[in-house]
Structure 1
C-alpha cells in the first residue's frame, strides 16, 4: 500500500489551493490559452516556488501544473509530442523538488499529478458545460497518452479534476482501470448535478468501480455545493473517501478571462466537510496560501 493511500485511511489530508491564480497574484501573465502550462515551459522555478508556498502553509498534497497540458493543446501552440512528454514529467518533478525544499518526506507529503478535462485544452470555459460533442471512445483516446505519461512519472496519485459530464467520467474511469497508480476523480457541479446536468451519484458509482480510484468528490465549485456532493457520494454506495476543493466563490468569465464577486471562507466549513466524509480538503481557483493555512489549522490536530 502506498503511503498516500495509508494516510488517507487515517484522517483528513490538506490539499493545496489554486496554483494558476497564485502564480497570477505573483505577477505572472496567465492570460494565454496554456494557463499555468506556459510557465511550466518558460519559468519552471516559479511553479516550484508556488508549490513550496502551499507546503509552507500546511498543505500536504501539491497538485501539479499539468492541468492544461495536453498533446493537442500544446500542438496548437507549436510544441511537439516530445515537448509535451517532457512538460508532463517536469510538472511532477517540480512538485517533488518543492516538497524537498519544504523539508517534507515522501511519507508525509504527496504529489498529485493533475489531469484536467478535455474542455480545459479548448481554453474556452467548456469544462464548465461539458458540451464537447465527444463520445466515450473519443475521450478515452484523447486522455490516454497524457495519463500514460503522467503515470510513467510516478506521482503519488493522479488528480482527475473538474470533470463536467458523465460521458467524460466514464471515459476516464475506463482508462484508469489497470493503470497501476492511485487516483482520485473530482467532478465540477452546479445545483447539485454535474455541469452537463448528469446525476452526481452516477458519476461516483462509476468511480467506485475502479480499484485504482481511492477517492471521489468535487472541485472548482461553490462552497454551497459541497455538503450535497458528499451526501451523493455516500448515497452512491461505493464507500470512497471524499475529496473537496471548492473555488473562492468568485465567478470566472471565460471570454473576458477575468473574475468578479467576493470570496467565501473555506476554512469555516472544513470541519463539517471532514465530518461528512471528506478526507482530502483544500481549495481551487482563487484560494491562496492564507486560506489553506486556515484549513490546516482546522483539520490538523
Structure 2
C-alpha cells in the first residue's frame, strides 16, 4: 500500500521582531498547507535572530515555557490547516535552566511533546553552551524521541545533532519514518577563502544524506537564510530519500516555502536491498560509549 506524505519546508530570514518572525512562520505554514503539506517543519529558533553569536544575559528574556504561548498559538494553526507542525523554540524550563527545544503539534492541534537538543556547540559565532543545557534521558526529561503524528512517525533532532550518526541511528531504531533537522547554520563572512565555506556546506549536506542512507529513512533539513552579525545563513534546505538522493534543494539566499511528497514505503525497499539493520553487530559496539579509545 502506498504511504505518501507531503512535507512542507519553511526557509526564512529573521529580524529582531519576534512577533513579525512568528507571523511570517505562520504565513509560511498556511502557504505550505494550501499546497497540500501535511507535515510542516520550521527552522531552528525561528522566533528571533540567532542570538547565540554573543554571550549576553539579556537574551535569556527571549525564552518561554513549552508548552506555552507559542505552542498554543501554533496549535490553533495546526488545527485550522490540518497540518503537523515542528516548531523550534528557546525553552525556559526553570529559573536558570534553558534548552534549545523543538515542540511537535499534531494535525488536530494537540501537543505531542518536545525534543531537547542533545549536542550543544561552542564555537565562534555559536556560543550555545552559554544558553542551553543539553537534553538527557533522565526521568522526566525527553532524550531522543519519536512522535506518532496523524501522518507518520517522525523523529526530530536539532542542528548540531546533524553531525552525530549516533543520534540519527538511535532515533531511526525507535521507529522514525522521517528524520527532521531544524537548523541555523551559515558561512562566516570574515572567512577569506571561499573554498572553506564551500567545503563546510558540502560536509553539512553530505553527512545528513549519509544518515538517510545508513538508516533507510527520509531526511529533511530546514535552515534559515539572511545575514546576521558575521554569519550568512546558507539556506540550502533539502529533502533526501532513504538512499540519500536529493528530492529537493532550496536556494542559498531566498526565502522559500516548498512542499515535497515522499513515499515512506521506500524505507522497506531500501532496507531490504541494503540490509544495514540486519547486519549490525550489536554485540561488538560496547566501545562506542567510551569518550576515546586509548589502547
> What TM-score do you get using the length of structure 2 for normalisation?
0.48
Q: Which has the larger radius of gyration?
A: 2
| Structure 1 or 2: more strand by fraction | 2
Q: TM-score, normalised by structure 1?
A: 0.47
